[in-house]
Structure 1
Amino acid sequence: MTGFPSQFENAVGLVLQHEGGFVQHPSDPGGATNFGITHATLARARGHPVSVDDVRNLTREGAIAIYRRLYWDAVRAEELPPGLDLAVFDLAVHSGPLRAVRLLQAVLGVEADGIVGPVTLAAARRADVPQAIGRLTSMRLRFLRRLATWPVFGRGWQRRVLGTEREALRLASPSSTD
Protein backbone atom coordinates (compact mmCIF):
# COMPACT_ATOMS: atom_id res chain seq x y z
CA MET A 1 0.00 0.00 0.00
CA THR A 2 1.63 3.21 -1.16
CA GLY A 3 -0.92 5.63 0.20
CA PHE A 4 -1.50 6.98 -3.31
CA PRO A 5 -5.00 6.72 -4.77
CA SER A 6 -5.47 4.11 -7.49
CA GLN A 7 -6.63 4.96 -11.00
CA PHE A 8 -10.13 3.87 -9.98
CA GLU A 9 -10.13 5.92 -6.78
CA ASN A 10 -9.10 9.03 -8.72
CA ALA A 11 -11.68 8.42 -11.44
CA VAL A 12 -14.58 7.65 -9.12
CA GLY A 13 -13.71 10.71 -7.05
CA LEU A 14 -14.06 12.86 -10.17
CA VAL A 15 -17.32 11.18 -11.17
CA LEU A 16 -18.75 11.74 -7.69
CA GLN A 17 -17.98 15.47 -8.00
CA HIS A 18 -20.59 15.50 -10.79
CA GLU A 19 -23.01 13.04 -9.23
CA GLY A 20 -24.71 14.54 -6.21
CA GLY A 21 -26.81 13.02 -3.50
CA PHE A 22 -30.40 11.88 -3.77
CA VAL A 23 -32.33 13.42 -6.67
CA GLN A 24 -35.71 12.62 -8.18
CA HIS A 25 -36.02 15.11 -11.03
CA PRO A 26 -39.30 14.82 -12.96
CA SER A 27 -37.51 15.20 -16.33
CA ASP A 28 -34.90 12.53 -15.63
CA PRO A 29 -35.87 9.27 -17.34
CA GLY A 30 -33.62 7.44 -14.86
CA GLY A 31 -35.97 8.36 -12.04
CA ALA A 32 -34.63 8.46 -8.50
CA THR A 33 -30.84 8.54 -8.27
CA ASN A 34 -28.32 8.77 -5.47
CA PHE A 35 -24.64 9.43 -6.11
CA GLY A 36 -25.64 9.00 -9.78
CA ILE A 37 -26.85 5.43 -9.23
CA THR A 38 -30.32 5.04 -10.74
CA HIS A 39 -33.17 3.00 -9.36
CA ALA A 40 -32.70 0.41 -12.16
CA THR A 41 -28.94 0.20 -11.64
CA LEU A 42 -29.32 -0.34 -7.92
CA ALA A 43 -31.84 -3.12 -8.55
CA ARG A 44 -29.47 -4.74 -11.05
CA ALA A 45 -26.54 -4.46 -8.63
CA ARG A 46 -28.53 -6.00 -5.80
CA GLY A 47 -30.21 -8.64 -7.95
CA HIS A 48 -33.74 -7.80 -6.82
CA PRO A 49 -36.29 -4.97 -7.04
CA VAL A 50 -35.58 -1.92 -4.90
CA SER A 51 -37.67 0.96 -3.62
CA VAL A 52 -37.08 4.69 -3.89
CA ASP A 53 -36.15 4.56 -0.20
CA ASP A 54 -33.46 1.98 -1.04
CA VAL A 55 -32.05 4.49 -3.55
CA ARG A 56 -32.31 7.29 -0.99
CA ASN A 57 -30.44 5.19 1.60
CA LEU A 58 -27.61 4.11 -0.70
CA THR A 59 -24.28 4.98 0.89
CA ARG A 60 -21.34 6.57 -0.86
CA GLU A 61 -19.38 3.34 -0.28
CA GLY A 62 -22.23 1.33 -1.80
CA ALA A 63 -22.28 3.59 -4.85
CA ILE A 64 -18.49 3.29 -5.25
CA ALA A 65 -18.73 -0.50 -5.18
CA ILE A 66 -21.39 -0.38 -7.91
CA TYR A 67 -19.28 2.00 -9.99
CA ARG A 68 -16.35 -0.38 -9.68
CA ARG A 69 -18.20 -3.53 -10.68
CA LEU A 70 -20.78 -2.32 -13.21
CA TYR A 71 -18.81 0.47 -14.90
CA TRP A 72 -15.03 0.53 -14.29
CA ASP A 73 -14.58 -3.23 -14.52
CA ALA A 74 -17.18 -3.55 -17.29
CA VAL A 75 -15.18 -1.28 -19.62
CA ARG A 76 -11.82 -2.70 -18.43
CA ALA A 77 -10.72 0.84 -17.58
CA GLU A 78 -7.78 -0.39 -15.49
CA GLU A 79 -6.24 -1.71 -18.72
CA LEU A 80 -6.68 1.52 -20.72
CA PRO A 81 -4.01 4.20 -20.96
CA PRO A 82 -4.09 6.98 -18.36
CA GLY A 83 -6.63 9.63 -19.26
CA LEU A 84 -8.48 7.39 -21.65
CA ASP A 85 -9.50 5.30 -18.63
CA LEU A 86 -11.20 8.32 -17.05
CA ALA A 87 -12.85 9.46 -20.29
CA VAL A 88 -14.33 6.03 -20.98
CA PHE A 89 -15.36 5.43 -17.36
CA ASP A 90 -17.19 8.76 -17.05
CA LEU A 91 -18.91 8.12 -20.37
CA ALA A 92 -19.95 4.64 -19.14
CA VAL A 93 -21.38 6.10 -15.93
CA HIS A 94 -23.25 8.82 -17.77
CA SER A 95 -24.46 6.95 -20.86
CA GLY A 96 -23.94 3.25 -20.16
CA PRO A 97 -20.97 0.88 -20.54
CA LEU A 98 -22.12 -0.50 -23.89
CA ARG A 99 -22.35 2.95 -25.48
CA ALA A 100 -19.00 3.94 -23.93
CA VAL A 101 -17.26 0.90 -25.37
CA ARG A 102 -18.83 1.29 -28.81
CA LEU A 103 -17.84 4.96 -28.98
CA LEU A 104 -14.32 4.09 -27.83
CA GLN A 105 -14.11 1.41 -30.52
CA ALA A 106 -15.33 3.86 -33.16
CA VAL A 107 -12.64 6.35 -32.07
CA LEU A 108 -9.99 3.61 -32.21
CA GLY A 109 -11.12 2.36 -35.62
CA VAL A 110 -11.92 -1.19 -34.51
CA GLU A 111 -15.12 -3.19 -34.82
CA ALA A 112 -17.72 -1.61 -32.53
CA ASP A 113 -18.96 -4.85 -30.97
CA GLY A 114 -19.29 -3.40 -27.46
CA ILE A 115 -16.72 -5.79 -25.98
CA VAL A 116 -13.37 -4.58 -24.67
CA GLY A 117 -11.16 -7.46 -25.73
CA PRO A 118 -7.60 -7.87 -26.97
CA VAL A 119 -8.21 -5.97 -30.23
CA THR A 120 -9.69 -2.93 -28.48
CA LEU A 121 -7.01 -2.93 -25.78
CA ALA A 122 -4.20 -3.19 -28.34
CA ALA A 123 -5.70 -0.34 -30.37
CA ALA A 124 -6.01 1.77 -27.20
CA ARG A 125 -2.34 1.17 -26.34
CA ARG A 126 -1.30 2.21 -29.88
CA ALA A 127 -3.55 5.26 -29.99
CA ASP A 128 -2.58 8.88 -29.77
CA VAL A 129 -4.33 9.16 -26.40
CA PRO A 130 -4.95 12.93 -26.34
CA GLN A 131 -6.42 12.72 -29.85
CA ALA A 132 -8.59 9.74 -28.84
CA ILE A 133 -9.85 11.64 -25.77
CA GLY A 134 -10.74 14.65 -27.93
CA ARG A 135 -12.59 12.52 -30.48
CA LEU A 136 -14.42 10.63 -27.74
CA THR A 137 -15.49 13.93 -26.16
CA SER A 138 -16.81 15.20 -29.51
CA MET A 139 -18.77 12.02 -30.16
CA ARG A 140 -20.14 12.06 -26.62
CA LEU A 141 -21.36 15.64 -26.91
CA ARG A 142 -22.96 14.91 -30.32
CA PHE A 143 -24.85 12.00 -28.75
CA LEU A 144 -25.99 14.03 -25.73
CA ARG A 145 -27.17 16.98 -27.84
CA ARG A 146 -29.57 14.65 -29.67
CA LEU A 147 -31.33 13.59 -26.45
CA ALA A 148 -34.79 15.02 -25.73
CA THR A 149 -33.61 16.03 -22.25
CA TRP A 150 -30.71 18.18 -23.57
CA PRO A 151 -32.69 21.44 -23.06
CA VAL A 152 -33.12 20.58 -19.37
CA PHE A 153 -29.75 19.02 -18.53
CA GLY A 154 -27.48 20.03 -21.42
CA ARG A 155 -25.64 22.87 -19.74
CA GLY A 156 -24.58 20.67 -16.83
CA TRP A 157 -23.75 17.74 -19.11
CA GLN A 158 -21.55 19.91 -21.29
CA ARG A 159 -19.73 21.27 -18.25
CA ARG A 160 -19.21 17.72 -16.99
CA VAL A 161 -17.99 16.34 -20.33
CA LEU A 162 -15.56 19.21 -20.94
CA GLY A 163 -14.29 19.04 -17.35
CA THR A 164 -13.73 15.30 -17.74
CA GLU A 165 -11.89 15.93 -21.00
CA ARG A 166 -9.60 18.49 -19.32
CA GLU A 167 -8.73 16.08 -16.51
CA ALA A 168 -8.32 13.15 -18.91
CA LEU A 169 -5.91 15.17 -21.05
CA ARG A 170 -3.97 16.15 -17.94
CA LEU A 171 -3.69 12.48 -16.95
CA ALA A 172 -2.62 11.54 -20.48
CA SER A 173 0.17 14.12 -20.45
CA PRO A 174 3.65 12.59 -20.22
CA SER A 175 4.43 15.12 -17.49
CA SER A 176 1.52 13.90 -15.33
CA THR A 177 2.94 12.40 -12.16
CA ASP A 178 -0.26 10.59 -11.05
Structure 2
Amino acid sequence: MAVSSYDAALTRLLHDEGGYTDHPSDPGGPTNFGITLADARRYWKGNATADDVRALPQSVARKIYREHYWNALRCDELPAGVDYAVFDYGVNSGIGRAGKVLRRILKLSDRTSVVSDDVVAGARACAAPDMIVALCAERLAFLKSLKTFPVFGRGWTARVNGVRAAALAMAESRALAPELGEASPGKAVVPATSPAVTASTGAVIAAGAASAAMTSRLQVALMVAATAALAALVIFLVWRWRHRAEQEAATLVSPLPGGERSRT
Protein backbone atom coordinates (compact mmCIF):
# COMPACT_ATOMS: atom_id res chain seq x y z
CA MET A 1 0.00 0.00 0.00
CA ALA A 2 1.16 3.53 -0.61
CA VAL A 3 2.18 5.53 2.43
CA SER A 4 -0.54 8.08 1.61
CA SER A 5 -3.17 5.41 2.27
CA TYR A 6 -2.42 5.56 5.99
CA ASP A 7 -2.42 9.35 6.02
CA ALA A 8 -5.84 9.53 4.36
CA ALA A 9 -7.24 6.85 6.67
CA LEU A 10 -5.88 8.55 9.79
CA THR A 11 -7.25 11.95 8.74
CA ARG A 12 -10.74 10.49 8.49
CA LEU A 13 -10.40 8.52 11.72
CA LEU A 14 -9.27 11.55 13.74
CA HIS A 15 -12.21 13.52 12.33
CA ASP A 16 -14.64 10.80 13.43
CA GLU A 17 -13.09 10.33 16.87
CA GLY A 18 -13.04 14.03 17.74
CA GLY A 19 -11.33 15.43 20.83
CA TYR A 20 -11.58 14.70 24.54
CA THR A 21 -14.67 12.89 25.83
CA ASP A 22 -15.61 11.12 29.04
CA HIS A 23 -19.14 9.87 28.45
CA PRO A 24 -20.57 7.85 31.37
CA SER A 25 -21.89 5.21 28.97
CA ASP A 26 -18.61 4.82 27.08
CA PRO A 27 -16.75 1.67 28.22
CA GLY A 28 -13.54 3.33 27.06
CA GLY A 29 -13.79 6.01 29.73
CA PRO A 30 -11.69 9.17 29.26
CA THR A 31 -10.77 9.32 25.57
CA ASN A 32 -8.88 11.79 23.40
CA PHE A 33 -8.44 11.49 19.62
CA GLY A 34 -9.97 8.04 20.12
CA ILE A 35 -7.17 6.95 22.48
CA THR A 36 -8.67 5.51 25.66
CA LEU A 37 -7.19 5.71 29.14
CA ALA A 38 -6.30 2.01 28.88
CA ASP A 39 -4.42 2.58 25.61
CA ALA A 40 -2.67 5.62 27.07
CA ARG A 41 -1.43 3.50 29.96
CA ARG A 42 -0.52 0.57 27.72
CA TYR A 43 1.33 2.49 25.02
CA TRP A 44 2.30 5.85 26.51
CA LYS A 45 2.33 6.34 30.31
CA GLY A 46 1.88 3.44 32.67
CA ASN A 47 0.29 5.68 35.31
CA ALA A 48 -1.68 7.97 32.97
CA THR A 49 -4.72 9.72 34.43
CA ALA A 50 -7.81 11.30 32.90
CA ASP A 51 -5.98 14.63 32.95
CA ASP A 52 -3.10 13.06 31.02
CA VAL A 53 -5.55 11.79 28.42
CA ARG A 54 -7.07 15.26 28.15
CA ALA A 55 -3.59 16.69 27.48
CA LEU A 56 -2.53 13.86 25.15
CA PRO A 57 -0.58 15.31 22.19
CA GLN A 58 -2.00 14.35 18.81
CA SER A 59 1.48 13.23 17.78
CA VAL A 60 1.30 10.52 20.46
CA ALA A 61 -2.13 9.42 19.21
CA ARG A 62 -0.78 9.22 15.66
CA LYS A 63 2.15 7.07 16.79
CA ILE A 64 -0.12 4.72 18.73
CA TYR A 65 -2.45 4.32 15.77
CA ARG A 66 0.40 3.59 13.39
CA GLU A 67 2.27 1.10 15.54
CA HIS A 68 -0.48 -0.66 17.48
CA TYR A 69 -3.44 -0.59 15.10
CA TRP A 70 -2.43 -0.04 11.48
CA ASN A 71 0.76 -2.12 11.66
CA ALA A 72 -0.78 -4.73 13.97
CA LEU A 73 -3.51 -5.39 11.37
CA ARG A 74 -0.94 -5.33 8.52
CA CYS A 75 -2.98 -2.68 6.75
CA ASP A 76 -0.05 -1.68 4.55
CA GLU A 77 -0.37 -5.09 2.88
CA LEU A 78 -4.15 -5.02 2.37
CA PRO A 79 -5.91 -3.68 -0.74
CA ALA A 80 -6.74 0.02 -0.85
CA GLY A 81 -10.02 0.71 0.90
CA VAL A 82 -9.98 -2.61 2.71
CA ASP A 83 -7.03 -1.28 4.72
CA TYR A 84 -9.06 1.71 5.92
CA ALA A 85 -12.20 -0.33 6.68
CA VAL A 86 -10.19 -2.80 8.79
CA PHE A 87 -8.19 -0.05 10.50
CA ASP A 88 -11.23 1.98 11.54
CA TYR A 89 -13.01 -1.17 12.72
CA GLY A 90 -9.98 -2.07 14.85
CA VAL A 91 -9.83 1.35 16.48
CA ASN A 92 -13.55 1.43 17.25
CA SER A 93 -14.06 -2.17 18.39
CA GLY A 94 -10.58 -3.58 18.96
CA ILE A 95 -8.02 -5.14 16.65
CA GLY A 96 -9.03 -8.60 17.87
CA ARG A 97 -12.57 -8.27 16.56
CA ALA A 98 -11.45 -6.57 13.34
CA GLY A 99 -8.96 -9.37 12.66
CA LYS A 100 -11.52 -12.11 13.33
CA VAL A 101 -14.15 -10.54 11.10
CA LEU A 102 -11.62 -10.13 8.30
CA ARG A 103 -10.70 -13.82 8.60
CA ARG A 104 -14.36 -14.85 8.67
CA ILE A 105 -15.13 -12.92 5.49
CA LEU A 106 -12.26 -14.72 3.79
CA LYS A 107 -13.70 -18.04 5.06
CA LEU A 108 -10.69 -18.66 7.29
CA SER A 109 -10.88 -19.82 10.90
CA ASP A 110 -11.79 -17.01 13.29
CA ARG A 111 -10.50 -18.85 16.34
CA THR A 112 -7.60 -16.44 16.10
CA SER A 113 -7.51 -12.77 15.14
CA VAL A 114 -4.03 -12.87 13.62
CA VAL A 115 -3.75 -11.26 10.20
CA SER A 116 -1.50 -13.96 8.77
CA ASP A 117 0.07 -14.36 5.35
CA ASP A 118 -2.98 -16.41 4.34
CA VAL A 119 -5.24 -13.51 5.29
CA VAL A 120 -3.19 -11.03 3.29
CA ALA A 121 -3.10 -13.34 0.26
CA GLY A 122 -6.83 -13.99 0.51
CA ALA A 123 -7.63 -10.30 0.76
CA ARG A 124 -5.56 -9.55 -2.31
CA ALA A 125 -7.33 -12.27 -4.28
CA CYS A 126 -10.83 -10.94 -3.52
CA ALA A 127 -12.67 -7.97 -5.00
CA ALA A 128 -12.00 -5.06 -2.65
CA PRO A 129 -15.49 -3.49 -2.97
CA ASP A 130 -17.16 -6.77 -1.97
CA MET A 131 -14.90 -7.11 1.07
CA ILE A 132 -15.57 -3.53 2.14
CA VAL A 133 -19.34 -3.99 1.91
CA ALA A 134 -19.13 -7.25 3.89
CA LEU A 135 -16.86 -5.77 6.57
CA CYS A 136 -19.12 -2.78 7.13
CA ALA A 137 -22.26 -4.95 7.17
CA GLU A 138 -20.76 -7.22 9.84
CA ARG A 139 -19.58 -4.21 11.79
CA LEU A 140 -22.95 -2.47 11.80
CA ALA A 141 -24.75 -5.69 12.77
CA PHE A 142 -22.36 -6.09 15.70
CA LEU A 143 -22.86 -2.47 16.81
CA LYS A 144 -26.63 -2.88 16.77
CA SER A 145 -26.27 -5.84 19.16
CA LEU A 146 -24.60 -3.72 21.85
CA LYS A 147 -26.58 -2.38 24.80
CA THR A 148 -25.01 1.05 24.26
CA PHE A 149 -26.38 1.31 20.70
CA PRO A 150 -29.35 3.46 21.82
CA VAL A 151 -26.81 5.96 23.18
CA PHE A 152 -24.18 5.94 20.45
CA GLY A 153 -26.07 4.26 17.60
CA ARG A 154 -26.71 7.37 15.55
CA GLY A 155 -23.05 8.35 15.52
CA TRP A 156 -21.86 4.79 14.95
CA THR A 157 -24.22 4.28 12.02
CA ALA A 158 -23.10 7.54 10.41
CA ARG A 159 -19.48 6.53 10.96
CA VAL A 160 -19.86 3.09 9.38
CA ASN A 161 -21.73 4.56 6.41
CA GLY A 162 -18.97 7.14 5.99
CA VAL A 163 -16.25 4.50 6.25
CA ARG A 164 -17.97 2.34 3.63
CA ALA A 165 -18.32 5.25 1.18
CA ALA A 166 -14.74 6.44 1.69
CA ALA A 167 -13.29 2.93 1.55
CA LEU A 168 -15.09 2.21 -1.72
CA ALA A 169 -13.74 5.48 -3.10
CA MET A 170 -10.22 4.50 -2.00
CA ALA A 171 -10.65 1.15 -3.72
CA GLU A 172 -11.34 3.08 -6.92
CA SER A 173 -8.34 5.37 -6.27
CA ARG A 174 -10.56 8.34 -5.47
CA ALA A 175 -10.25 10.64 -2.48
CA LEU A 176 -13.37 11.40 -0.45
CA ALA A 177 -13.09 14.18 2.11
CA PRO A 178 -14.65 13.73 5.57
CA GLU A 179 -18.13 15.16 5.88
CA LEU A 180 -18.81 17.79 8.51
CA GLY A 181 -21.02 16.53 11.29
CA GLU A 182 -21.10 15.20 14.82
CA ALA A 183 -18.22 13.04 16.01
CA SER A 184 -19.00 9.46 16.96
CA PRO A 185 -17.56 8.99 20.45
CA GLY A 186 -17.99 5.76 22.32
CA LYS A 187 -15.97 2.60 21.93
CA ALA A 188 -17.89 -0.35 20.55
CA VAL A 189 -15.96 -2.89 22.59
CA VAL A 190 -17.07 -6.15 24.20
CA PRO A 191 -15.00 -9.13 25.42
CA ALA A 192 -13.16 -10.76 22.53
CA THR A 193 -14.90 -14.09 23.19
CA SER A 194 -18.35 -12.67 22.42
CA PRO A 195 -19.71 -13.94 19.08
CA ALA A 196 -20.41 -11.44 16.37
CA VAL A 197 -24.08 -10.96 15.53
CA THR A 198 -24.16 -10.74 11.76
CA ALA A 199 -25.97 -11.70 8.60
CA SER A 200 -24.53 -14.29 6.26
CA THR A 201 -21.22 -13.04 4.98
CA GLY A 202 -21.73 -14.90 1.71
CA ALA A 203 -25.04 -13.12 1.17
CA VAL A 204 -23.45 -9.77 1.88
CA ILE A 205 -20.63 -10.37 -0.58
CA ALA A 206 -23.15 -11.55 -3.17
CA ALA A 207 -25.17 -8.39 -2.60
CA GLY A 208 -22.03 -6.34 -3.04
CA ALA A 209 -21.20 -8.10 -6.28
CA ALA A 210 -24.77 -7.61 -7.55
CA SER A 211 -24.59 -3.94 -6.69
CA ALA A 212 -21.31 -3.58 -8.56
CA ALA A 213 -22.75 -5.41 -11.58
CA MET A 214 -25.84 -3.20 -11.56
CA THR A 215 -23.65 -0.10 -11.44
CA SER A 216 -21.65 -1.42 -14.40
CA ARG A 217 -24.82 -2.07 -16.43
CA LEU A 218 -26.13 1.40 -15.62
CA GLN A 219 -22.88 2.96 -16.81
CA VAL A 220 -23.10 1.02 -20.10
CA ALA A 221 -26.73 2.10 -20.59
CA LEU A 222 -25.82 5.72 -19.99
CA MET A 223 -22.97 5.50 -22.52
CA VAL A 224 -25.31 3.98 -25.13
CA ALA A 225 -27.89 6.70 -24.52
CA ALA A 226 -25.26 9.41 -24.79
CA THR A 227 -23.96 7.93 -28.06
CA ALA A 228 -27.49 7.79 -29.51
CA ALA A 229 -28.14 11.39 -28.51
CA LEU A 230 -24.90 12.51 -30.15
CA ALA A 231 -25.78 10.64 -33.36
CA ALA A 232 -29.22 12.29 -33.42
CA LEU A 233 -27.62 15.69 -32.99
CA VAL A 234 -25.23 15.05 -35.91
CA ILE A 235 -28.14 13.96 -38.16
CA PHE A 236 -30.10 17.08 -37.22
CA LEU A 237 -27.15 19.37 -37.95
CA VAL A 238 -26.58 17.73 -41.36
CA TRP A 239 -30.27 18.07 -42.23
CA ARG A 240 -30.27 21.68 -41.12
CA TRP A 241 -27.19 22.48 -43.23
CA ARG A 242 -28.76 20.87 -46.33
CA HIS A 243 -32.05 22.67 -45.75
CA ARG A 244 -30.30 26.03 -45.56
CA ALA A 245 -28.29 25.21 -48.69
CA GLU A 246 -31.49 24.45 -50.59
CA GLN A 247 -33.08 27.71 -49.40
CA GLU A 248 -30.03 29.71 -50.49
CA ALA A 249 -30.09 28.02 -53.91
CA ALA A 250 -33.78 28.87 -54.28
CA THR A 251 -33.12 32.56 -53.69
CA LEU A 252 -30.77 32.55 -56.68
CA VAL A 253 -33.58 31.37 -59.00
CA SER A 254 -36.70 33.62 -58.71
CA PRO A 255 -39.90 32.92 -60.78
CA LEU A 256 -40.85 35.29 -63.66
CA PRO A 257 -44.07 35.64 -65.73
CA GLY A 258 -44.53 32.86 -68.23
CA GLY A 259 -42.81 30.32 -66.07
CA GLU A 260 -39.34 31.53 -66.98
CA ARG A 261 -36.66 31.75 -64.33
CA SER A 262 -34.01 34.35 -63.92
CA ARG A 263 -30.59 32.70 -63.81
CA THR A 264 -27.43 34.43 -62.80
Scaled by the length of structure 1, the TM-score of the pair is 0.94
For 2:158, the aligned partner's letter is R
1:10 maps to what in 2? 8
Distance 1:78 1:168 in 2: 14
Structure 2 CA distance for aligned equivalents of residues 24 and 150 of structure 1: 17
Deviation at 1:8, TM superposition (A): 1.0
Pairing partner for 1:73 from 71, 74, 78 = 71
Correspondence 1:138-177 to 2 at 5 A: 138-173=137-172, 176=173
Question: What are the ranges of 5 or more consecutive residues in structure 1 without an aligned counterpart?
Answer: none
* 8 Å Cα contact 1:137-1:165 kept in structure 2: yes
Amino acid at match of 1:38: T
Q: Is 2:100 the counterpart of 1:102?
A: yes
Partner of 2:30: 32
1:46 is displaced (CA, Å) by 2.0
1:83 to 69, 81, 84: 81
Q: Deviations 1:39-71 (Å, cap 9, x if unpaired)? A: 001111026121111100101111111111111
Question: Structure 1 residues 110-119 or 96-105, which shifts more?
Answer: 110-119
* Secondary structure at the counterpart of residue 41 of structure 2: helix
Query: How much has 1:29 moved relative to structure 2?
Result: 1.1
Contact 1:87–1:164 (CA<8 Å) still a contact in 2? yes
Equivalent-residue separation in structure 1 for 2:39 and 2:150 (angstroms): 24
User: Residues of 1 paired with 2:143 and 2:122: CA distance?
Assistant: 25
Runs of 4+ in 1 over 4 A off after TM superposition: none
The one-letter code matched in structure 1 to 2:171 is A
**Contact residue 110 and residue 123 of structure 1 kept, 8 A:** no
Cα 1:160–1:43 shift into 2, 3 Å? same
Q: Distance in 1 between matches of 2:86 and 2:130?
A: 14
SS at match of 1:86: helix
Greater CA drift, 47-56 or 89-98: 47-56
Aligned partner letter, 1:130: P
Q: How far apart in 1 are the matches of 2:53 and 2:131?
A: 35
Equivalence for 2:125: 126
The RMSD of aligned alpha carbons is: 1.3
SS of residue in 1 equivalent to 2:27: coil
Report the CA distance shift for 1:141/1:177 in structure 2 as closer, same or farther (over 3 A).
closer
* Shift of residue 134, structure 1, vs aligned partner: 0.4
2:58 alignment partner in structure 1: 60
Structure 2 portions without partners, runs of 5+: 176-264
The question of 1:20 aligning with 2:18 is answered yes
| Aligned residues with identical type, % of pairs | 45
TM-score calculated relative to the size of structure 2: 0.64
For 1:108 and 1:172, locate their aligned partners in 2 and report how far apart those are by CA, in whole Å: 18
Query: How many pairs align?
Result: 173
